[in-house]
Amino acid sequence: MRHTRRFEGVGKLKILKGVVLGISMFSRIPVPQLDWSEDNMRYMFCGFPLVGVSIGLLIWLWTYICTALNFGIVIRAAGLTLIPIAISGGVHLEGFCDVSDALASRADMETKRRIMKDPHIGSFAAISLGAYFLIYFAICCELPIDRRTLPSLILIPVLARALSGLSAIFFPSSSAKGLLNSFKEASDRGITVFVLLTFALLSLSLMTVVYPKAGISAFVMSALCLLTLFFTSKKQFGGMSGDLSGWFLCISEIMMLVGLTVAIKV
């Protein structure tokens, strides 16, 4: 009830603008371009899971097309691998590459931070990116698509983005001057947390209702990824950053797919 009253007290246009700004920030979905004002940034994290919803809908459409046209496993898996990148524009993969380079350097904390700010891709990032795509594609080839697994395929992008947003809000930031901290400071914490938590719980609940093993595996994998992010961000970088949010999103998506594949085969 408290959150409901807060929603009623906030202008619907303000929330809508924040959602639109979040979608434009975290995806390539064509939406109206808005000013980066503090009011518009207040609810931008609320649009993050909706990018996952768009990815999930395209995944459902692609699997339907593959079934209707009798496409093989390889073509289907290629589409499943590329759809998240096509919608997000690869914005999270940039963070994945930066963090991979920094972690592989085994340098001190300040050096790792400097590596993440370097706009050039390093050899370790290229290797990690190649391995990421290979694993993602292989899992999509191995995972049977049916009534048990399809809902999880659709909901994993939503869950991963909701958890990424929650970690950005709750985990300590590495710098007060970073872009992520600017989003965090500008956001309406109460409403944003309520929206993100709702998306996360609904995703997990639907997975569990349709196929209990899928829900359990998604919960376990996402929890492990959150713990890994918390300790990695604190120990290796001194706190959260936008790059670490992208790294977490990529890792959590692929690990939940691994968990789903293992669950259905056990």
Instruction: Spell out the SS3 assignment of the chain.
Output: CHHHHHHHHCCHHHHHHHHHHHHHHHCCCCCCCCCCCHHHHCCHHHHHHHHHHHHHHHHHHHHHHHHHCCCCHHHHHHHHHHHHHHHHCCHHHHHHHHHHHHHHHCCCHHHHHHHHHCCCCCHHHHHHHHHHHHHHHHHHHHCCCCCCCHHHHHHHHHHHHHHHHHHHHHCCECCCCCHHHHHHHHCCHHHHHHHHHHHHHHHHHHHHHHCHHHHHHHHHHHHHHHHHHHHHHHHHHCCECHHHHHHHHHHHHHHHHHHHHHHHHC
- Mean of pLDDT over the chain: 89
Residue 239 or residue 254, greater confidence? 254
Structure confidence at residue 5 (pLDDT): 52
Residue 107 clears pLDDT 80, i.e. is over it: yes
Tell me the mean pLDDT in the region 10-17: 73
Tell me the pTM: 0.91
Structure confidence at residue 202 (pLDDT): 97
Structure confidence at residue 7 (pLDDT): 47
Q: Which of 3-17, 34-48, 69-83 has the lowest mean pLDDT?
A: 3-17
pLDDT in tens, 139-185: 999 999 998 899 999 999 999 999 999 999 999 887 656 667 677 77
